Amino acid sequence: MTATTGRAGRRAWIGLAVLLLPTLVIAMDMGVLFFAVPFIATDLKPSGTQQLWIMDIYSFLLAGLLIPMGALGDRIGRRRLLMAGAAGFAAASLLASYADGAGSLIAARALLGIAGATLMPSTLALIRNMFHDPRQRQAAIGIWSGAMMGGATLGPVAGGLLLDHFWWGSAFLAAVPVMLLVLLAAPALLPEYRTPPEGRFDLAGAALSIATVMPVVYGIKTLAVDGWSPVPALLLAAGLLAGAGLVARLRTAASPLIDLGLFRIRTYSGAITVNTIAMFAMMGFTLFTSQYLQLVKGFSPLTASLWALIPSVGVGAAVGGIGALAGKVRPATLMSGGFLLSATGFGLMTLIGPDTPLAVVLAASGVIAAGAVGSMTLTAEMVVSAAPAERAGAASATSETASELGSSLGIALLGAAGAAVYKAQLDGRVPDGLPAGAARAAHDTLGGAVTVAGQLGGRAGTDLLAVTRSAFADGMHVAAVVGLVVMLGAALAANRLMRHLPAGPQETAQQETGPQETRQQEGVRQGADRPAAV
C-alpha cells in the first residue's frame, strides 16, 4: 500500500471498509436524535432554545469546520487527523450519553460536530491516495457515497430501535465501539499522506471560513423554520460579509486555506456546482416527504423511517448501474440522465394527494433519490480526481461544505414556498368555532393542525384534518415543481460543464490547467503524493 501507482490490492479494500465506519456513523448521527428528543426533554428538561441547540449545534459546527479541517489534514497527515477525530468522537459520544444537564449535552454535541469535521474530509482524501487506478477509485467513491446515504437513512431507524430497549444515551453510546475499532485498525490498514507544509497554517482564513459558513447555515435554517426574524437575518448578512472577506484573504494569503486555482479546473468547479444544485432540490424536498408520511398518512416516526428505507433499494441500483456504465458512457450523459430521472420523480410528486396509495409515494421518492444520488456519485469522484492529490483534503471539504449550503438553502426556500401555499390555501377554510390559539396553530403548520384535530376529535377534527392535509399537498406540489425545474437545470448544467470529459473515470486535471500551473502542480506531487514516513 505504499505505491503511488498501479492497482490497489486487498489491503486497500479492507482499508476502505475501515474508512466506511466513521462515514456511516457521522451520517447516522445527524438523524439519531430524531426519536430521542422527547426522552431528553423529560429527563433533562431543556428550555425551548436549549432543545434547538441540542439538535442543531452538531450540524452547524460540522459545516463550519469542514474546510479548515480538510486543509489541516493535508498538512499534518490525513490518517493522523482521522484517528484524532475518531478518538474525539468516541470521547464526545461518551460525554453525550451520560450528560446530566442540557448545557453539558449541548457541549458534547458541539464536540461531536468538531470531531465529525475532522473525519469527513479525511475519509474521502485518503480514498484519493489509496486508489490510484481511476476505475478502482470510482468504485471506491461509489461505495463511500452509498455508505453516506445509507447512514443518513438508517440514523432515525437505529435511534428508534435503540430507544425501544435502552435509555436515550444509547443513541450516542453506539458510536463508541465503532470509533475504537477505527483507532485499532487504522494504523495497520491505512497509509499516511500529507503535503509538505509551505508556510504557516492560515489561521485567519480558518476563522473567516467558520465566520462565513456557520452564520449562513444558521440564518438559512432558522428563517426557514421560524419565519422572518431580525437576528437570523443579521447573522446571515454577517456570514455573507465574512464570506467576502474570506475570498479576499484567499487571494492574498501566502499559504491560503484553499487554493482558488482549483476553481479554474473545469471538472472540479463544475462538479461542485452541479452537486450543490442537486442537493438543493433533493434535500429540500425531503422535508415534505418525511412530513407526508407522518402527518398525512399518520405513521409514527419509527414506522415512517422504516418505510423510507424502501427507496434506498433504488438508490443502490442506480449507484451500481452508473458505476457499470461509467467506462462506456460520457459523464455528462450519465449525470444529465440521472437528473432527468429525478425530474421525472418530482413530476410524479405533483400528482400525489392525501389519498394517493403509499406505493406511488415511495416509488416517486425512490426515483428522485436514485437519479440524484447516482449522478452525485460521479461528482464526488470528479472532485477528488480533478484536484491535485496534495489538495484532496481541502478539495473534498469544500465540496462537502457546498453540499451542506445547498441542502440548507433547499430546505429554506422549498420549505418557505410550501408553507406560503399551505397558509394561502387555508385562508377562510379553517372550520369556524376554534379557539384563537388553536386556529392559529392549525393555520401555521400541518403539525399544529394534527395536534389541534386530535384535541377536537369527532367531526370537527376530521374536517380540520381533511382541509389542512389537502392544503399541505398543494404546498408539496409547488415544491415539487420547483424541484423539477431545478433538476432540469442540473441536467443542462451537467451537460454543459462536463461535456469535455471522455467516457471512463478521470485521470487528473492536468489537461485543464495551463502549462506553468501544471508543472507547478506536478512538482509538488512528486514530493507530496508519496506516503509520509510512519
Fold of 1-201: Growth Hormone; Chain: A; (1.20.1250)
Instruction: Please compute Rg for the chain using Cα positions.
Output: 23
Q: What's the grid cell of residue 45?
A: 428538561
Helix (H) or strand (E) holding 176: helix 175-189
Distance from C-alpha of 109 to C-alpha of 55, rounded to nearest angstrom: 8
pLDDT along the chain (534 residues), means of 10: 59 89 82 72 75 76 83 84 93 91 89 88 84 79 78 76 80 89 90 75 82 81 71 87 86 78 80 82 78 83 79 74 74 87 91 90 87 78 74 76 78 77 78 71 76 77 84 89 89 84 57 38 38 40
The whole-number pLDDT of residue 5 equals: 52
The domain spans of the chain are 1-201
Tell me the pLDDT tens digit for each residue of 393-430: 777 788 778 877 787 777 777 877 887 888 888 777 77
Question: What pLDDT is stored for residue 32 in this prediction?
Answer: 72
Residue 197 is predicted with a pLDDT of 65
Residue 344: its pLDDT value, please?
A: 93
Cβ proximity of 26 and 116 under 8 Å = yes
pLDDT at 504: 59
Distance CA 315, CA 500 (A): 27
Closest CA to 283 of 210, 336, 236, 224: 224
pLDDT at 227: 67
Query: What percentage of the chain's residues is helix, strand, coil (to nearest 5)?
Result: 80, 0, 20
DSSP assigned state of 502 = P
Specify the length of the chain in residues: 534
Helix (H, G, I), strand (E, B) or coil at 200: coil
> What separation in angstroms does the CA of 263 have from each of 47, 270, 512, 513?
44, 9, 11, 11
Amino acid 346: pLDDT? 92
CA–CA distance, 44 with 101 (Å, rounded to integer): 5
- Residues 166, 157: Cα–Cα separation, whole Å: 14
